[in-house]
Amino acid sequence: MRLIISIITGIVLFACTAQPDNQTGPAEVDNNREQYLDWFKDSKFGMFIHWGPYSNLAGEWNGKQVPVGSNAEWIMKNLKIPVTEYRELAREMNPVEFNAREWVELAKSTGMKYIVITAKHHDGFAMYHSKVTPYNIVDWTQFKRDPLKELSDECREAGIKFCVYYSHREDWDHPGGYGNNWDYDNDWGSDLYHHEKFEKYLEEKAKPQLTELLTDYGPVGLVWFDRGMYTPEQGMDFVRLVNSLQPATLINGRVGHYNQEFIGDYQSTNDNGMPPGGLEEYWETPQTLNQTWGYSKFDKSWKSPETIICRLAEVVSRGGNYLLNIGPQGNGEIPDTTITIFRKAGDWMERNSESIYGTTANPFGELSWGYCTVKNNRLFLLIRDWPADGKLNIEGLQNQVKNAYPLSDVSSKLTVVKEGEITYVELPAKAPDHPLSVVVLEVEGAVKVSPRVVTPDAEGKAELNYLTADTKGEAKTRYNRKGGFHISKWRGPEDSVEWLINIDKPGKYQLKIDYAANSDWEGKEYEVKIGNHSYRKTVVSDGGYFNYREFPVGYIDIVESDIYTLTVRPMGEGEKYLMHLRSLSIEPVEKAKSHGWGVE
Ligand code: GLC
């Protein structure tokens, strides 16, 4: 490969003033925690349960409704129900139809491996026997039973991981909790984070309740925090508390503030979020069955079983877990429609769960016909759109295929033909299953796919982002609620990121880089290398972890069509991350007539 690149123009870096902020660097992490994630990564499918006094209200109070499309568990805040009044409403909770065995059986038969139940939601009411406050289902209502105790026992018996949701920052009942601004005067201005009332709430309610949950209910698979704690220190306090009580208990990413560096054991996406894939930190997406988490008698916008099955396959093929919600009624009954949908999804899982559990993500790009998962030397093709000509194309599989068969009929053999980059699988005329049929390819050795090559669009522009990035060393493709998808965790020259880009129109191009850097990351040096030309740059901060800005890198003259390697790496070692890199872009700046392209 011959490559001549020359710098045409100098490089301009915008000067900018770093804003002071209250964010600190990456939080301390126990490097051994990765081992605890194994069961979670294998499980793929969990049941979320939103259940509390709001379920009893079912989306209506005093003739006023929580509109469909809003979260019914937010009724107290949405309709500004006074604390004293909500407390009386909570007394009416009497879920006599609650049957822990049936709930656990429903999760299990649907193929779910863990259950996450709201131990305390934002309304502040404890759905278990808390000694911290009588405002709990055993002491406050006539029900007198502890549903979490019953559920945890049933889970253990059924081999399902019992997990709890705990609203740690938000509490509309406690005068120091976050969120109730209709009953309490909690407009604490700039001292919000460390206001003594908030600290009091944390110390006298949130932490003691979490301690109870991790002490009295046997092993807890994970704690699902929500709506992020204010400061990294406060978030880490909860992490440390959970770790000290039950080291193996996982912690979701919402324990920390969404704008800050990720803490916890795995990333929680936004509600109903569906990352495009390619993330190197494990993640889970919480999703609703209709448009609310807590039960609403008005919301009939149920997703179909087909949608649920396809979403499960989509999430798993993109490398995450699917936490699917149910909103039981106040009397403890699970709505019939929920059960019908779950049973159908469960039937599909019964036949096809081999393609879900213990798999890793689709190694190819987007597949027009469906989804793909991998387990050792097996590829599972979850086919949604059965090809009319009976031929399924897979591009970029490097291995030889030893054996191919439908998962529904492992003894029948399918013909596979390999032609260069394309592997063709000859399928039976009719799809054996619905809405996804699974075909298994057993390959020689570990699954290997051709490296991804970015192809510029018709105008010659290309964006290089986390999706097509090949990270090395400690550099990771990541997600943050505020910061979106980015590449970080790099501290030294071994931690780099690389792209392959097919530039087939020679000419002059401009290269730009889009990143964010915290103010104390400013001044670090990095290298951007394309082909054999290298640029040395200095990190400039726009004042925050996720205040992205685009900076020019330089101009390059590409005289030969080729596949070029573009690399970004920190120049020296350091404590701090280099940057949060969102993307690089390459764009032609003029049509180089002498190179014979782009003639009008
Ligand atoms: C949102 C809602 C909350 C719900 C959660 C589930 O944070 O505000 O009510 O529990 O999503 O992911």
Ligand 1 touching residue 227 (CB < 6 A): yes
pLDDT at 6: 32
Percent of the chain with pLDDT over 70: 92
* Contact criterion met (CB below 8 Å) for 445 and 433: no
- Final residue of a domain: which of 352, 384, 407? 352
In a domain, 582, yes or no: yes
Ligand 1 touching residue 226 (CB < 6 A): yes
Q: Are residues 286 and 180 in the same domain?
A: yes
* Contact criterion met (CB below 8 Å) for 521 and 579: yes
pLDDT at 190: 64
- The preferred substitution site among 293, 296, 481 for testing ligand 1, maximizing ligand atoms within 8 Å of CB, is 293
- The preferred substitution site among 70, 163, 271 for testing ligand 1, maximizing ligand atoms within 8 Å of CB, is 271
Task: Summarize pLDDT for 45-66 with one digit per residue, the tens.
Answer: 999 999 999 999 999 999 999 9
Element (H, E) at 587: strand 580-590
Q: Are residues 490 and 574 in the same domain?
A: yes
In whole angstroms, how far apart are CA 102 and each of 140, 316, 334?
25, 26, 9
Ligand 1 touching residue 284 (CB < 6 A): no
Please give the residue range of the domain that contains residue 92.
34-352
Q: What is the Å distance from ligand 1's center to 73 Cα?
A: 8
Ligand 1 nearest-atom number relative to CA 118:
10
Q: Are residues 234 and 261 in the same domain?
A: yes
Q: What is the Å distance from ligand 1's center to 372 Cα?
A: 30
Number of domains making up the chain: 3
Q: Determine the average pLDDT of the residues in 16-22.
A: 30
Higher pLDDT, 193 or 158: 158
In a domain, 21, yes or no: no
Q: Determine the average pLDDT of the residues in 190-201.
A: 82
Task: Summarize pLDDT for 248-294 with one digit per residue, the tens.
Answer: 999 999 999 887 889 999 999 999 999 988 899 999 999 999 999 99
pLDDT at 590: 66
- The preferred substitution site among 71, 77, 178 for testing ligand 1, maximizing ligand atoms within 8 Å of CB, is 71
The DSSP string of 320-334 is EEEEEEE---TTSPP
Least confident of 22-36, 54-68, 146-160: 22-36
Ligand 1 nearest-atom number relative to CA 268:
12
SS3 254: helix
pLDDT at residue 594 above 50? no
Task: Summarize pLDDT for 349-402 with one digit per residue, the tens.
Answer: 999 999 999 999 999 999 999 999 999 999 999 999 999 999 999 999 999 999
Output the residue whose Cα is nearest ligand 1's atom 10: 293
pLDDT at 30: 59
pLDDT at 326: 98
pLDDT at 480: 86
pLDDT at 25: 40
In a domain, 263, yes or no: yes
Q: What is the Å distance from ligand 1's center to 122 Cα?
A: 9
* Contact criterion met (CB below 8 Å) for 345 and 313: no
CATH, residue 56: 3.20.20.80
Q: Are residues 307 and 419 in the same domain?
A: no
Q: Are residues 484 and 521 in the same domain?
A: yes
CATH, residue 393: 2.60.40.1180
In a domain, 19, yes or no: no
Structure-block tokens of residue 92: 């009416």
Q: Are residues 314 and 379 in the same domain?
A: no
In a domain, 400, yes or no: yes
Task: Summarize pLDDT for 397-418 with one digit per residue, the tens.
Answer: 999 999 999 999 999 999 999 9
Q: Are residues 458 and 386 in the same domain?
A: no
Q: What is the Å distance from ligand 1's center to 226 Cα?
A: 7
HSE value, Cβ hemisphere, 13 Å, CA-based, for 434: 4
pLDDT at residue 592 above 80? no
Output the residue whose Cα is nearest ligand 1's atom 4: 293
Q: Are residues 186 and 330 in the same domain?
A: yes
If pLDDT is split at 50, 70 and 90, which confidence band does 15 have?
A: very low
In a domain, 27, yes or no: no
Q: How far apart are CA 242 and CA 223, in angstroms?
A: 8
Q: Are residues 429 and 537 in the same domain?
A: no
Task: Summarize pLDDT for 420-435 with one digit per residue, the tens.
Answer: 999 999 999 999 999 9
Q: How far apart are CA 323 and CA 286, in angstroms?
A: 5
Least confident of 21-30, 258-267, 516-525: 21-30
Q: Are residues 137 and 252 in the same domain?
A: yes
CATH, residue 544: 2.60.120.260
In a domain, 4, yes or no: no
Ligand 1 touching residue 293 (CB < 6 A): yes
pLDDT at 4: 34
Ligand 1 touching residue 73 (CB < 6 A): yes
pLDDT at residue 1 above 70? no
Output the residue whose Cα is nearest ligand 1's atom 11: 271
Q: Using CA atoms in the order 119, 123, 125, 128, what is the torsion angle rounded to 10 degrees?
A: -10
pLDDT at 544: 85
Instruction: Please name every residue paired with 287 in a beta bridge, in sequence order, or none if there are none.
Output: 324
Q: What is the pTM of this model?
A: 0.92
Q: Are residues 458 and 438 in the same domain?
A: no
Ligand 1 nearest-atom number relative to CA 227:
7
If pLDDT is split at 50, 70 and 90, which confidence band does 24 have?
A: very low
Q: Determine the average pLDDT of the residues in 300-312.
A: 98
pLDDT at residue 26 above 90? no
pLDDT at 20: 29
- The preferred substitution site among 49, 223, 227, 257 for testing ligand 1, maximizing ligand atoms within 8 Å of CB, is 227
In a domain, 10, yes or no: no
Ligand 1 nearest-atom number relative to CA 121:
10
Q: Are residues 404 and 486 in the same domain?
A: no
Q: What is the Å distance from ligand 1's center to 84 Cα?
A: 24
Task: Summarize pLDDT for 458-497 with one digit per residue, the tens.
Answer: 999 999 999 999 999 999 999 988 888 999 999 999 999 9
* Contact criterion met (CB below 8 Å) for 484 and 431: no
- Final residue of a domain: which of 443, 468, 497? 443
Q: Determine the average pLDDT of the residues in 560-579.
A: 96
The DSSP string of 384-444 is SS--TTSEEEEESB-SPEEEEEETT-TTS---EEEETTEEEEE--SS-SSSS-EEEEEEES
Residue (of 400, 315, 442, 417) closest to 45 by Cα position: 315
pLDDT at residue 191 above 80? no
- Final residue of a domain: which of 299, 325, 352? 352
